[in-house]
Amino acid sequence: MTSFNEDALSQAAIKIVACDQRLTRSNRGSSGIVGKLASIKMQRVVCWWTQAERDCLYLLEIDDDILSYQVRPFKILYTFRDKPHTFIPNFLLHRPNGEQLIKITLGKQREDGDIEERKINFLRERCLSIGYELCVLTEPEIREQPRLDNAKALLKYATTPVDAPIFQLFCLELFTQQPIVPLGQLIQYFEMKGASKRHVYALMFRKVLQIDLTAQITAQTPVRFTGPTIFQ
């Protein structure tokens, strides 16, 4: 569990409590582990409790700015408007510039929307006082397409071995001739060399080959090689 400053906790009038991962309850009331994902980034199996958490995991896996992450790392107990509240962050992200807590919401308009917004702002200030940035993500934001489907597609080939120098040599041969290559042409070139589509996707997952993940992946998708070429 991440260490924290007890003096800061006292000043912020909130308390962090460790979660029993087997009994964790979501902020919406459901209980029990729903599913598991083999994490490449964490090199172990991680659990998820909601479909939104599962989809968010795909995005965390391909985000190079996230060094590591924890799912439902702890509970935060706090008082708002003289009433006790419990907040379980969906994720704790470890980034190069600090730690970030993620709260996932439905993204729908609520009757008590003004009060809920004030509660989130209150919680955001308290989290910041103990060293955590609180970021709110809505389910529609997480499921924005085609980014989510692209993340799933790349993660599918994440374990395909492409460490052998020959794969980067293939890239160097092709990208020395042109700085940007359509994905379909790139796959054909790899197949001509005895490799396959899965090796191309594995290289894209590792960012050796770079594409725009916010655009739909097609045979015409522009691909760049991040290694050295005469164009760099």
Torsion angle in degrees (nearest 10) through CA of 160, 161, 166, 171 = 40
Same domain, 214 and 154: yes
Domain boundary among 142, 168, 190: 142
Task: Indicate the pLDDT class of residue 112, thresholds 50, 70 and 90.
Answer: low
What's this model's pTM, rounded to 2 decimal places? 0.85
Q: Does pLDDT of 90 surpass 60?
A: yes
Q: Identify the CATH number of the domain in which residue 74 sits.
A: 3.40.1350
Q: Specify the pairing of strand 83-87 against strand 132-138.
A: unpaired
Inter-CA distances, 55 with 14, 19, 203, Å: 30, 22, 22
Same domain, 136 and 152: no
- Widest distance between CA atoms in the chain: 69
d(CA 113, CA 117): 6
Same domain, 137 and 206: no
Same domain, 73 and 162: no
d(CA 114, CA 132): 23
Same domain, 108 and 167: no
Same domain, 39 and 120: yes
Q: Name which of 41-50, 166-175, 203-212, 220-229 the model is least confident about.
A: 220-229
User: Which pLDDT does position 62 carry in this prediction?
Assistant: 97
Q: 30: burial class by Cβ within 10 Å (0-12, 13-18, 19+)? A: exposed
Same domain, 93 and 122: yes
User: Which pLDDT does position 21 carry in this prediction?
Assistant: 58
Region 2-27 average pLDDT: 55
Domain that holds residue 212: 147-225
List the one residue out of 39, 87, 45, 94 whose CA is nearest residue 65. Answer: 94
Same domain, 107 and 188: no
Number of domains in the chain: 2
